[in-house]
Structure 1
Amino acid sequence: MATTLLDSGGVDAVTLREVGHRSGVSHNAPYKHFADKEALLAAVAARELRRLSEMQAGIGAATGSVDAVRLLLHGYIEWALAHPARFKLVFSSWSVASDELADEARTGWSGLVDVVAAAQRSGSLPPGDPERMASLLRSLTHGAVDLALSGHLAADGKGGAEPATLVDDLLGHLAAAVPAPA
Structure 2
Amino acid sequence: MGYYMTVENKRIGYHHGDLRRDLLRVARDEISRNGAQAVTLSSLARLAGVSQPAPYRHFADRDALLEGVAVEAFEDLVSVLNGALATCASTDRLRAISRVYLTFGEANTEIYRLMFASRLVPEAKLGSALSTAADNALDLLRRVLSSGLPAGILGDNAYGTWAYLHGLVMLKADGFIQRPLSELIDTSDFLKTEGPCRT
Which category of TM-score, normalised to the shorter sequence, fits these structures? 0.7 to 0.9
* Aligned position for 1:146: 170
Mapped to 2, the partners of 1:136 and 1:4 lie a distance apart of 32
Q: Which amino acid aligns with 2:105?
A: A
Q: Which amino acid aligns with 2:41?
A: L
* Aligned position for 1:165: 184
- The counterpart of 2:133, out of the listed 104, 113, 132, is 104
Identify unmatched segments of 5+ residues in structure 1: 121-125, 156-160, 177-182
Q: Say yes or no: does 1:46 pair with 2:71.
A: yes
* Aligned position for 1:93: 119
Normalising by the residue count of structure 2, what TM-score does the alignment of the two structures yield? 0.71
What does residue range 1-182 of structure 1 map to in structure 2 within 5 Å? 1-60=26-85, 65-91=90-116, 92-94=118-120, 95=123, 97=125, 99-117=128-146, 119-120=147-148, 127=150, 129-155=153-179, 162=181, 165=184, 168-172=188-192
Deviations 1:77-134 (A, max 9, x none): 11111111101011111256481110011100111123235x41xxxxx556222222
Identify unmatched segments of 5+ residues in structure 2: 1-25, 195-199
Deviations 1:134-160 (A, max 9, x none): 2111110001111121122344xxxxx
Q: In 2, are the aligned partners of 1:66 and 1:171 still within 8 Å (CA)?
A: no
Between the aligned residues of both structures, percent identity stands at: 28
Q: Which amino acid aligns with 1:148?
A: K
Paired positions, count: 163
Mapped to 2, the partners of 1:48 and 1:114 lie a distance apart of 20
